[in-house]
Structure 1
Amino acid sequence: MSFFRFIKSKSFFIQVGIAVVGVLLFIFILQWWLGYTTNHDQKIQVPDLNRMSLVDVEAKLKELDLDFIVIDSASYNPNYPKRSVIEQSPEAGDFVKEKRKIYLTLNPSKYRDITIPDLNGRTKRQAMTQLQSIGFKVGEFSYVRDIGKDVVRGLKFNGRKLKPGEKLPKNAVIDMILGDGKGR
């Protein structure tokens, strides 16, 4: 039997018909199964979790059948309550399906601690610039007898003298002890 004769035969058309019907049936069954198993028509609107504590977040998401994961603690933001949600993904108002995980970024309980650099012997301007660049605030200046005018001779925090290498929270106000230029 030649190839062209087979293509014109009745059994060839029957086999092509069976193949087409089989593929279409497979596609329709697959589409129905995916719609059923993926909850295609289900939508849950993500609530706004901003400024909520983890206890409140857990209760709110549990009633909506959603989960959450804390992915990070951002830099401390004094405008938000401690350990509250700063960011969430997906955003509030987006639609998700049940058991979806909401990724949260929390506000830490305080500013992170920063190491005090050794500024002894630096000028007032150099020391102020370095302290401000790493996140401290410069407070008051006090002077001691010293040969160097406006040369750093120490740092204080809340009246206590600081040593290089100590740690203080970011945004702490540091007072500077400077030389008056009248010493020997």
Structure 2
Amino acid sequence: MRRRALLPTLLMTFVVVLAVSGSPALAASSDTVNITVTISQAIGVEITETSYNFGTLTTGTTATSASSLTVTNTGSGANENYSLNCSNTANWTAGTSPGTNIFVLRAQFNSTAPTTFDTTDILSTSPVLADATHFSGNETGINVPYGAVRHLWLRLQTPTSSSSTAQQTIVLTITGSIS
């Protein structure tokens, strides 16, 4: 008889243990964490050619480069905008029309040699953004994708007269910025 009374108790204990062990824990909790990251983008501009020589020209001459300068966005994956400017030389000053000791240097992004340059292509000693208006042919210096190549053509107008016959060096600077 004791065995019969013990059997329902054991059976009930077994059911309770089984029910408790199969149910999820009610004391669990969760939490969150914010993960942030900032991309550091490097700006990079590379001009493949280290110099361009127009050769010996007379005063009052207009010459267009025989080949383009190859300009590449070498940054870290960002699109870039280019700004262009040039320097004065030891004896000449950059200007908008040739004069005594005043030269005019124009630049234009184009896949082939441009047939015309206009006043919006004139370089000065202050940087100018190479947008759809300035220095643009069928290529621009605006929103240039990473790794993209642009072809920059030059046109030089020498001074109408010069106080020096020594070779003059004009420095062309292309500055990149994140677009």
Q: Same fold by TM (over 0.5)?
A: no
TM-score normalised by the chain length of structure 1: 0.24
More helix by share: 1
TM-score normalised by the chain length of structure 2: 0.24
RCO (CA 8 Å, sep 6+): is it higher in 1 or 2? 2
Larger Rg, first or second structure (1 or 2): 2
More strand by share: 1
